[in-house]
Amino acid sequence: MENTLLIGLSRQMMLERQMDVVANNVANVNTNGYKADRSLFEEYLMPVAHEDNFVGGDRRLSFVQDRATFHDFAGGPTEQTKNPLDVAIDGKAFLVVQTPAGERYTRDGGLQINAQGQLVTASGSPVLGTNGPITFQQTDHDIAISDDGTVTVIEGTNNAADSIRGKLRLVSFAQAQKLLKEGSNLYAAGEGNIARPDTTARVRQGFIERSNVSAVSEMSRMVEVSRAYTQMATLLQQQSELQRSAIEKLADVPA
């Protein structure tokens, strides 16, 4: 196959991967606490011919290589909801939740209380405090969450003194790019990535962190990728027609 076709194919494979990443970002533009993914590509150079009878040096071919996808952990905009169970995190920390697969991490602060009185995420995973799941009693009211994550309530109907129900466990990672997305807005730590307590992050009760995806930017990028793919497909088609035409002319040997 001609080098032009190989290089064009590498470009199309890269654009297809980039379109997948952009489409996933667009799909999560309204997901609370979602962090966008970005594509990372690099140039891959390789020589062409290695025969001894070529005059001069070989010209290197420039391919496109899909190197990695990384997370954009920039903070998303915060919105005031006045819901006492909604929390937004100022800083790089994550909430810790318990799942059947073990501890997982999220920035989605849209919390709820399940039928067992446990503080859970929107998907139903228990939110962990420093001493395990945070559980409320049926008579608890006036839930307050301080900026360090301490959860207090007024217990009973006689407006007794504040009772502490737990403290949100906030953790961060020295190698945040190793975090693995697992769906339901959860991250796994990844191999060798250790969650460490984060004492610098602050919690804002009654606020929610929205997705950091810019819908306008992602839609513009989607159009750009689509056009680039179409242009490359046209170029490859022209190259294929040129090759076929050359073969037909070479085969047309005069009698």
> Can you say how many angstroms the Cα of residue 199 is from the centroid of all Cα atoms in its chain?
24
* Residue showing tokens 């217990």: 155
Residue 3, C-beta contacts closer than 8 angstroms, at least 6 positions apart = 48, 61
Tens of pLDDT, residues 82-130: 999 999 999 999 999 999 999 999 999 999 999 999 999 998 999 999 9
Residues 141 and 56 in one domain: no
Tens of pLDDT, residues 235-248: 777 777 777 777 77
Residues 177 and 247 in one domain: no
Residues 83 and 65 in one domain: no
Residues 92 and 183 in one domain: yes
* Residue showing tokens 């796994």: 188
What are the φ/ψ torsions at residue 112 (nearest 5 degrees)?
A: -145, 175
Residues 202 and 226 in one domain: no
Using the 8-state DSSP alphabet, how is residue 100 labeled?
T
Contact (CB, 8 A) for 130 and 165: no
Residue 231 in tokens: 């242009």
- DSSP letters for 146-206: -TT-EEEEE-TTTT-SEEEEEEB-EEEETTGGG-EEEETTEEE--TT--EEE-SS-EEEET
pLDDT of residue 220: 92
Contact (CB, 8 A) for 205 and 145: yes
Residues 100 and 24 in one domain: no
* Rounded Cα distance, 106 and 93, in Å: 9
Q: Structural domain tally of the chain?
A: 2
Residue 246 in tokens: 């050359």
pLDDT of residue 228: 85
Contact (CB, 8 A) for 89 and 109: yes
Residues in the chain: 255
pLDDT of residue 241: 76
Beta strands 60-71 and 150-154 are unpaired
Residues 27 and 117 in one domain: no
What are the φ/ψ torsions at residue 12 (nearest 5 degrees)?
A: -65, -40
Residues 198 and 82 in one domain: yes
Tell me if residue 158 falls in helix, strand or coil: coil
Residues 107 and 168 in one domain: yes
What's the domain range around 31? Answer: 3-73+213-251
Q: Cα-atom radius of gyration of the chain, to the nearest Å?
A: 27
Residue 132 β-bridge partners: 129
Low-confidence ranges of the chain (pLDDT < 70): 1-4, 41-67, 157-161, 251-255
Residues 68 and 134 in one domain: no
pLDDT of residue 161: 63
* Rounded Cα distance, 3 and 11, in Å: 12
Residues 59 and 91 in one domain: no
pLDDT of residue 50: 52
pLDDT of residue 40: 73
Residues 30 and 91 in one domain: no
